[in-house]
């Protein structure tokens, strides 16, 4: 089996040499052909210098430098589109995803399985962070109908023939997992070992998780518009009920002069519903505007690719 390993890189100059070395040892015994694609996502440190030197020394390593920081999923998309082999594996650059667990993902791609996610045998983040992640996944399942959303992770393997699902993806906000759910429902999860982060900390804070959830929902679903419709109907029903009560009190002779608090409360409720509706519509109009002006998903500034510089036989490892 031939395998392309795609790694988005950001502030990972200290971990890339070990990561590539361990991957090389593992992939020689796992794949008939393999490559490692390091996508440097506009990192401000010397990560590109390290990735460039690794690509010049190790034949199966290819390095891409994006013109600026576009985000993890955009960087992965750049690597996925550059991949040449039958199976594509994506993993983090901080050694949390052990290279020795890659064969577990690849072996799980049995007949009839298109996507495999690697999930930790134990919780690797704080309780608050894990709860936030689960909430985001639950929203993707219920509001967007994303198949397998509860098992998604950044450590994944999928077959390269699913790539047509990415062909028309454009713009700054994209999700690898949503695109994969469009292409196939044949997804499974396997338990793998997760190591502690060697340096820094996760870029997915609670705020960024919420932002990612919002971007994913508005970018790949029209359900928020439907929810606004339901909200409008609910507020309308509430208004009819209040109107009916006022009419009833008038006929039974129990009317009183409406107080300021009642009026202010009703105005606040209806104004809130209107502002929510305008905000949701504004999100969609804004995204249409960004798509119309052609904001890119990513731009590749430079690449180091010995395979392109000197075409020849693909690098071969052991046998699968």
Q: Would you tell me how many other CB atoms lie within 10 Å of the CB of residue 257?
A: 4
Residues 76 and 203 in one domain: yes
pLDDT of residue 257 exceeding 70: no
| 204 falls within a domain | yes
Tell me: do 51 and 98 sit in the same domain: yes
Same domain, 31 and 118: yes
**Burial class of residue 20, CB neighbours in 10 A (0-12, 13-18, 19+):** buried
Residue pLDDT, tens place only, 73-118 = 999 999 999 999 999 999 999 999 999 999 999 999 988 899 999 9
Instruction: Say if strands 33-40 and 2-9 run parallel, antiparallel, or are unpaired.
Output: parallel
pLDDT in tens, 263-297: 656 676 777 777 778 877 877 777 776 666 777 88
Residue 314 lies in a domain: no
* CA distances (Å), origin 147, targets 15, 17, 39, 182: 33, 36, 27, 9
Same domain, 211 and 254: no
CA–CA gap between residue 140 and residue 217 (Å, rounded): 7
pLDDT tens-digit readout, 159-187: 999 999 888 877 777 788 888 888 888 88
Give pLDDT, residue 216: 62
The reply to whether 279 falls in a domain is yes
User: 211 and 100, same structural domain?
Assistant: yes
Give this prediction's pTM.
0.74
Pair (87, 192) in one structural domain: yes
CATH assignment at residue 175: 3.90.550.10
Average pLDDT on 303-308 reads 77
pLDDT band at 2 (very low <50, low <70, confident <90, very high): very high
Boundaries of domain holding 286: 223-292
176 shares its domain with 305: yes
Domain total of the chain? 2
Each residue's pLDDT tens digit, 111-166: 889 999 998 876 555 555 555 555 555 555 555 554 555 677 889 999 999 999 88
Do 22 and 59 belong to one domain?
Answer: yes
**How far, in Å, are 195, 199, 239, 257 from residue 122 at the CA level?**
10, 20, 50, 62
Crossing angle (nearest 10°) for helices 47-57 and 16-30:
30
Mean pLDDT calculated for residue range 235-258: 70
CA distance 75 to 172: 11
Helix residue ranges, H only, 145-259 = 176-183, 206-220, 223-251
201 part of a folded domain: yes
Does 281 lie in the same domain as 151?
no
316: in domain: no
Q: Is residue 9 part of a domain?
A: yes
Shared domain for 182 and 271, answered yes or no, is: no
d(CA 73, CA 77): 6
Q: Are residues 201 and 244 in the same domain?
A: no
In a shared domain, residues 36 and 83: yes
Q: Is 141 part of any domain?
A: yes
């Amino acid at each position: 089996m031939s395998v392309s390993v795609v790694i988005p890189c950001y502030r990972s100059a200290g971990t890339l040499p070990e990561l590539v070395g361990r991957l090389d040892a593992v992939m020689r015994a796992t794949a008939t052909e393999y490559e490692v694609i390091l996508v440097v996502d506009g990192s401000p440190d010397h990560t590109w210098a390290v990735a460039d030197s690794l690509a010049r020394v190790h034949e199966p390593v290819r390095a891409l430098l994006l013109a600026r920081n576009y985000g993890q999923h955009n960087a992965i998309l750049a690597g996925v589109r550059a991949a040449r082999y039958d199976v594509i594996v994506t993993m983090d650059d901080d050694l949390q995803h052990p290279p020795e667990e890659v064969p577990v993902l690849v072996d799980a791609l049995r007949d009839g399985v298109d996507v495999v996610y690697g999930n930790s045998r134990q919780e690797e983040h704080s309780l608050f962070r894990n709860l936030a992640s689960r909430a985001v996944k639950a929203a993707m399942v219920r509001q967007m109908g994303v198949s397998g959303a509860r098992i998604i992770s950044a450590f994944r393997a999928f077959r390269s023939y699913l790539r047509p699902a990415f062909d028309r993806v454009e713009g700054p906000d994209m999700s690898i997992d949503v695109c994969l759910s469009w292409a196939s429902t044949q997804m499974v999860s396997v338990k793998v070992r997760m190591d502690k982060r060697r340096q820094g900390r996760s870029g997915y804070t609670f705020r960024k998780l919420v932002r990612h959830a919002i971007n994913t929902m508005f970018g790949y679903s029209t359900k928020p518009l439907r929810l606004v419709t339901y909200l409008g109907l609910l507020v309308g029903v509430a208004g009819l009920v209040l109107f009916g009560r006022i009419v009833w009190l008038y006929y039974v002779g129990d009317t009183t002069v409406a107080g300021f608090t009642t009026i202010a409360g009703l105005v606040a409720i209806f104004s809130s519903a209107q502002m929510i509706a305008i905000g949701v519509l504004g999100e969609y109009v804004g995204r249409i505007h960004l798509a119309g002006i052609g904001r890119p998903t990513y731009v590749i500034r430079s690449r180091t690719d010995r395979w392109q510089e000197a075409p020849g036989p693909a690098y071969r490892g052991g046998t699968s």
